[in-house]
Amino acid sequence: MAYQLPAWAALAPTLVLVATALVLFLIDSIDPDSENRALLAGVSVLGSLAAAGFAVWFLLAGTGDEPISLYADTLVVDTMTLFFAFVFASVTALVSVASYDYMRDHSYQGEYYALVMLAATGMTLMPAANSLAVVFVSLELSSLPSYALVAILKKNRGSVEAGLKYFLIGALSSSILAYGISLVYGASGSLLLPEVAGAAGTEGLTGVLGIGVLMILGGFAFKTASVPFHFWAPEAYEGAPAPISAFLSSASKAAGFAVAFRVFTVAFPVDAYLASIDWVLAVQILAVVTMTLGNFAAATQDTVKRMLAYSSVGHAGYALIGLAALSGGNDQFVLGASMTHLLVYGFMNTGAFLFIALAEYWSVGRTFEDYNGLAKQAPFACVAMTVFMFSLAGLPPFGGFLSKYFLFAGAVGAGFWWLAAVGAINSALSLYYYSRVVKAMWIEEPTREFDIESKPVGLYAAIVAAAVATVLLLPGFAPVWEFAQSAAGALVA
């Protein structure tokens, strides 16, 4: 007789992450000044890999095919929860590996890893949230450690300033989100997402509900670094330690989208709400403005890290297409495409920021010119960076090509060809600034001598793993696509 796991075990990825955080705190309290970086990083990597392993196992075993409701329906584990748990856990693993070298000689080692794990825990809870209360709590659980992580280089003015900015805008957005939730609760009388959906036709409260929906949208826009709540993003990404920038711009952003997807499809289903509250139009405007603004700003930057930060805003715009093209009758396809893009983005964008981490580790400099001729010194890492850049731009033969294509094809299929057109034009524009990096690394002559003595094993391992994943995601696109489709199907089918 097969042993049946208890229902709460479906949360295994989250539980493993929180347990890892606790183990790290334990290690830190036994030996507060621990310099044993290998132990700390090792525990984090093992924890996040185990979480990713659980997610993959459950996905393959079909655990999420029938949604599992937990704790009075406030949490739900379905394919989407597991799909995103895999994204967050794998990004966390990459970030942990890379931090081993990056955080050398910094204080607060134990706290650093524990905070990363806690933030990851919050992220894995976000797609599982089935109640607006859990939405708020999990969003805060991932945000609060992030504020501290951005500012963890306490002696670095940029880091502290970025942390403060992030925190202030984060606090503002949280209050907007909380206010929005309270309005929705007032109009619908429930915090559970499926029950909120029933409030659509409430007479006389449409206005209250509508403002609530828009404010919740604003809260998510902050988390996903979408316009107009994106101001923190370039500052925070630039000031934060580079692995944390990777973490925030890939995992944290995907988490914001994950929770937005669930809330907006389950609590505010298009067909019930479109008549009274046209939030799809708001998201469409948001998507177009976000990708255009992000891309144009990225094209005008002088430093590579800031360019990546703004391009990350642009990618938030692409991912928003998943929500913006709902109501077009192609919901499952386009939502799945959005999720797929977030997964691919998780690897390629993390890899790109980790390459920045490597450059910072070598003190190469920040501007494009500083990267000139880097390929002569570190060809292998530069191949990986080239892979990330071209994949982010959406060129074949990398994973980003198909995920972008499906995203745009989904929008066209839903009848929003203009969304796809704006996306495609932006995508073409993005090739300009991405290829600037490639050009600097490979083609330009070095402007000064590099001092590259060591090749940090951890950073290299993480970058290579991300590059291999980015390349393999093209031939391995089929399973990812299928899981994303079934994840989307759980929400909209």
Does 396 contact another protein by CB under 8 A? yes
Q: Interface residues for another protein in 427-466 (CB under 8 A)? A: 428, 431, 435, 438-439, 442-444
Helix (H) and strand (E) counts in the chain: 21, 2
Place of tokens 């759980």: 490
User: Does 482 sit near another protein (CB under 8 A)?
Assistant: yes
Q: Which stretch binds another protein (CB under 8 A): 28-36, 305-313, 356-364, 372-380?
A: 372-380
Q: Which of 363, 397, 447, 493 binds another protein (CB under 8 A)?
A: 397
Cβ pair 374, 364 in contact under 8 A: yes
3-state secondary structure 204-266: CCHHHHHHHHHHHHHHHHHHCCCCCCCCHHHHHHHHCCHHHHHHHHHHHHHHHHHHHHHHHHH
Identify the residue among 211, 274, 395, 452 touching another protein (CB under 8 A): 395
Identify which of residues 394 and 456 has a Cβ nearer to another protein in the complex.
394
Q: Is 28 helix (H, G, I), strand (E, B) or coil?
A: helix
**Pick from 224, 219, 394: which is nearest to 294 by CA?**
224
Residue number, 261 or 401, with CB nearest to another protein: 401
* Closest to 343 in 3D by CA, of 378, 367, 363, 319: 319
Q: How many residues touch another protein (CB under 8 A)?
A: 33
Give the count of beta carbons closer than 10 Å to the beta carbon of residue 366.
Answer: 16
**Interface map 211-230 toward another protein (x if CB under 8 A):** --------------------
Determine if 354 is a binding residue for another protein (CB under 8 A): no
**Which residue lies nearer to another protein by CB, 125 or 465?**
465
Question: Minimal distance in Å, beta carbon 415 to another protein?
Answer: 10
Backbone angles phi, psi at 175, to 5 degrees: -70, -35
15, with CB counted inside 10 A (0-12, 13-18, 19+), is middle
Stretch near another protein under the rule CB under 8 A, chosen from 103-111, 145-153, 317-325, 408-416: 408-416
Q: Are 399 and 347 spatial neighbours (Cβ–Cβ below 8 Å)?
A: yes
Closest of 186, 159, 157 to residue 240, by C-alpha: 159
Question: Which parts of 362-416 fold into alpha helices (H)?
Answer: 374-377, 379-393, 399-413
Q: Are the C-beta atoms of residues 122 and 12 closer than 8 Å to each other?
A: no
- Contact code string over 460-479 relative to another protein, x by CB under 8 A: --------------xx-xx-
Token pair for 7: 């229902």
Helix (H, G, I), strand (E, B) or coil at 85: helix
Question: What is the closest distance, in whole angstroms, from the C-beta atom of residue 292 to another protein in the complex?
Answer: 19
Task: Choose the binding region for another protein from 24-32, 112-120, 293-301, 374-382 (rule: CB under 8 A).
Answer: 374-382
CB of 397 to another protein, least distance (A): 4
Among positions 19, 383, 452, 461, the unique one binding another protein when judged by CB under 8 A? 383
Selected from 372, 386, 391, 470, the binder of another protein by CB under 8 A is: 386
* Closest among 455, 252, 481, 229 to 349, alpha carbons compared: 252
Taking the complex as a whole, the smallest distance from the CB of residue 337 to another protein amounts, in Å, to 8
Stretch that binds another protein, among 122-130, 294-302, 326-334, 351-359 (CB under 8 A): 326-334
Is the Cβ–Cβ distance between 226 and 290 less than 8 Å?
yes
What letter would DSSP give residue 325?
A: T
**Does 483 sit near another protein (CB under 8 A)?**
no
Q: Which of 256, 400, 413, 489 is in the footprint of another protein by CB under 8 A?
A: 413
Which residue lies nearer to another protein by CB, 145 or 410? 410
292: contact with another protein by CB under 8 A: no
Residue 219: count other Cβ atoms within 10 Å of its Cβ.
27
Q: How far is the CB of 468 from another protein (least distance, A)?
A: 11
Nearer to another protein, 62 or 396 (CB): 396
- In the complex with another protein, the residue whose CB is nearer, 133 or 474, is 474
- Amino acid in the structure at residue 300: T
Provide the β-strand partners of residue 303.
Answer: 367
Structure tokens at 267: 């609590």
Q: Contact between 135 and another protein (CB under 8 A)?
A: no
Smallest gap from Cβ 411 to another protein, in A, equals 12
Say which DSSP state 69 is in. E
Which of the ranges 43-51, 111-119, 214-222, 371-379 carries the binding residues for another protein, by CB under 8 A? 371-379
Using CB atoms within 10 A of its CB, is residue 185 exposed (0-12), middle (13-18) or buried (19+)? middle
CB 335 to another protein: min, Å: 12
- List interacting residues with another protein (CB under 8 A): 330, 332-333, 375-376, 379-380, 383, 386, 390, 395-397, 401-402, 406, 409-410, 413, 428, 431, 435, 438-439, 442-444, 474-475, 477-478, 481-482
